[in-house]
Homo-oligomer: A and B are copies of this chain.
Amino acid sequence: MSQTSPALLVQEIGEQGLLNRLQAFCPADVVGDDAAVLTVRNDRSLVVTSDVLVDKVHFSDQTTSPEDAGWRAIAANLSDLAAMGAFPLGITVGLGLPGTVKVEWVERLYQGMVACLTQYGGAIVGGDICRSSVITIAITAFGQVHPDRVIRRSTAKPGDAILVTGVHGASCAGLELLLHPEQGQTLDSAERIALIHAHQRPKPRLDLLPILQRLTGAKHSFPISGMDSSDGLADAVLQICRASGVGASIDRHQIPIPSVFKHWLSPAQALEWALYGGEDFELVLCLPIALAQIVVQELAGAAIVGEIVVEPEVLLVDSTGQQADEVLSLDRGFQHF
């Protein structure tokens, strides 16, 4: 791709000019028709998920470079695929752009998208560009999964262990440090950068899928339910319980949090961010305890945080007996309007 003048605006090259430049980010064989043609394996179902991201709501130049905005947009959608047990096939990108956006900004956005796709699988197979008063990024991701290996929210069973694939609260902490750099004076530079990186470059947990495939490959049934924690760990557990008609007991001391929280935050604040911070894009799975224990051994950072119970309530319990049980609810999460 040719070097782009940093001053060049979208309105100077028009829709077609921009499309021509962005085609450099797509595989050559999908460009140039009304739609892209993809191959789904014969024995696989198609999985489809969508996100719409808007400037100043979901990203902003204050906290997010265009490369990071692109990475995050893709990572969020690949995380939804991972949460269904599906491997990525491709994505489409719809862009609404003010004419005064710099062409370089759009190209850097695509560089971030392609960086994430290159690492985790899939390619940009289509899209649309149009004029808008606000930068809008609409992503649709497609994946494929064996129809008997779909991870759903609605099949959690009492007695299942609740497993998370990694720490919670890091993304929220990273955003806080970006918005309020005066915060976290007890953190050293590497610790700050690690938390900010967790916010800017979240990892979709597709690495879990081959492990699950191997561990369940010989079984006739697939005893795993779950979703991702994009809207927070509390939200994920509550959504799974609601969809499955069950409850859960979560041990506050078993939730993995960044180790640096201990010399920065109060335990209450650390727990708040871990439960309600959101955007950690880990997976929250409900599965038989024996299987969960094997996953914990094989996947660094994974932890069993609780258990599915019959009573349809999500309780935060204290295994040390020092604090009273708390009932978790969605009310402490946020709504987008």
Binding site for B on A (CB under 8 A): 10-11, 14-16, 18, 32-40, 42, 45-54, 57-58, 80-81, 83-84, 86, 89-90, 92-97, 99, 125-134, 136, 138, 140-143, 145, 147, 150, 152-154, 227-228, 243, 335-337
Q: Are A15 and B336 in contact (CB under 8 A)?
A: yes
Q: Are A36 and B32 in contact (CB under 8 A)?
A: no
In the complex, besides A34-B84, A52-B94, 11 extra interface pairs with C-beta distance below 8 angstroms are A14-B337, A34-B153, A35-B48, A39-B46, A40-B45, A42-B42, A50-B128, A52-B130, A54-B131, A96-B136, A128-B138
Q: Which residues of B contact A83 (CB under 8 A)?
A: 33-35
Q: Are B142 and A52 in contact (CB under 8 A)?
A: no
Give A80's nearest chain B residue, CB to CB. Answer: B34
8 Å CB contact of A153 from B11, B32, B49, B80: B32
Q: Which residues of B contact A38 (CB under 8 A)?
A: 45-48
Q: Are B227 and A33 in contact (CB under 8 A)?
A: yes
Q: Are B337 and A11 in contact (CB under 8 A)?
A: yes
Q: Are A132 and B46 in contact (CB under 8 A)?
A: no
Q: Which residues of B contact A131 (CB under 8 A)?
A: 54, 57, 336-337
Q: Nearest-CB distance from A221 to chain B (Å)?
A: 17
**23 examples of A-B residue contacts, CB within 8 angstroms:** A11-B337, A14-B335, A15-B337, A32-B154, A34-B80, A34-B84, A34-B228, A37-B46, A40-B45, A46-B89, A48-B125, A50-B94, A50-B128, A52-B95, A52-B138, A57-B130, A94-B138, A96-B134, A97-B337, A99-B337, A128-B138, A129-B336, A138-B138
**By CB atoms of chain B within 10 A, which of A50, A150, A228 has the most?**
A50
**By CB atoms of chain B within 10 A, which of A36, A47, A58, A138 has the most?**
A138
Q: Nearest-CB distance from A218 to chain B (Å)?
A: 23
A48 in contact with B336 given A84-B33, A84-B35, A243-B32 (CB within 8 Å):
no
Q: Are B84 and A37 in contact (CB under 8 A)?
A: yes
Give A12's nearest chain B residue, CB to CB. Answer: B337
Q: Are A130 and B33 in contact (CB under 8 A)?
A: no
Q: Which residues of B contact A130 (CB under 8 A)?
A: 52-54, 57-58, 336
Q: Nearest-CB distance from A89 to chain B (Å)?
A: 8
A177 to B243, CA, bound (A): 50
Q: Nearest-CB distance from A240 to chain B (Å)?
A: 10
Give A226's nearest chain B residue, CB to CB. Answer: B34
